Structure 1
């Protein structure tokens, strides 16, 4: 069994530890009344998107998210939450160095003693969620499990659904090359949709896309057809199922918690990689951390 698969399967146990940490670490994320910026790169950027949506939706205060490489400042924040598994991502370090005095800097990371730590006022260390795999799976989902618990947005049944997702049969991908997988989300699950599509690209070099569910009809549906699987994180908006069927695409929905559905999507990415003779532990052109010279 490859390392990526082992780490995917470990997530329910990792989530239990993250949930237990919420009472101690959660205040750095909840920060009631503060204006907060969440940022990261790649997977961590999509986590930042979900966190900002969840926090503001919970009534805890204004919450923005940025891709660290595109952040140019210009807005005033009480706190910046930087997410970086390795603590070495160049673009995240650059943003943290430029944060003005008086703004609190919170780091969410999986590795102790890395450069980002010296630039932070507070640290949430999820070392139990660290990964050997280049492809991130359990670190981002552990971050979301902790935050959802802290925000009070509901994690009932999450662990049980996660255990189901580790063993449940995967949805069938339509035959034909290249397979085409489209992930859709609404609200905080838009970030999950983006992350699921990234897993398929990273692990399987697959053709995958992601959109807010309602926006799928605004152009992207034009390339869908008999080779397409449309995967929705939650029920499709009214009328969209009919449009998907009209395009000739297959459709998948699940009643599992959206975070558990992301586990299914991670497993699908690995299965697609193996079907193509690829090693998901060694994704093409990727490294564990992007460190720029």
Structure 2
């Protein structure tokens, strides 16, 4: 395993700080940390010219959507953020930390630190700062139900043969935890829960909003086959219940991280070979 160079580590650290500050409702401090992260990333080559232009454009649109919300601007902004999150746009040199098979019966896996997906999640949270929300927190009992549902999903995955019991402790666990929380779970929960589920709750009843957001989260995993779509939909319900219970995207991301960590440590990862 190779860790990024110190200046790259500093850039990712500042991006993580920007995400946390935004979750804490400190947009000015978050903006300062995020801007510094982008500057360092450009200086050390994580961000190249086309990537920098895309990030600057997405940042400008985040401001426009926050100050002057219009459907056309919002649609363009979301399309650009999705392109960043899906690694469609050129100009990013995301470092590869490890590649190989964790166990003989698993598919090959590559551990990246994806600056483009992390910055997309941060800009989404920044643009949604103070976005209206008519829902209320459902309380701790609902959060507990969400966590129990996530445990059930892992049990269903094993019983169906979609994963197999394979306990392990990778040497790169800490870098993986950082990447999975800040560069995967946070951006995904920002989109599907704080973005989509919240937006739907302002237009329909909370339960249909939760189900619709979970179905779309499941559909995003269609590359793994219909079985994975079903499991991801149920997992999305679990994350959505934690979000509905707390109205905190960071707590939904922690539930997402806990689920993925249990998958990594106890079962074939990313899936059986």
Asked if TM exceeds 0.5, the reply is no
Higher helix share: 2
Higher strand share: 1
Q: TM-score, with normalisation over the residues of structure 2? A: 0.28
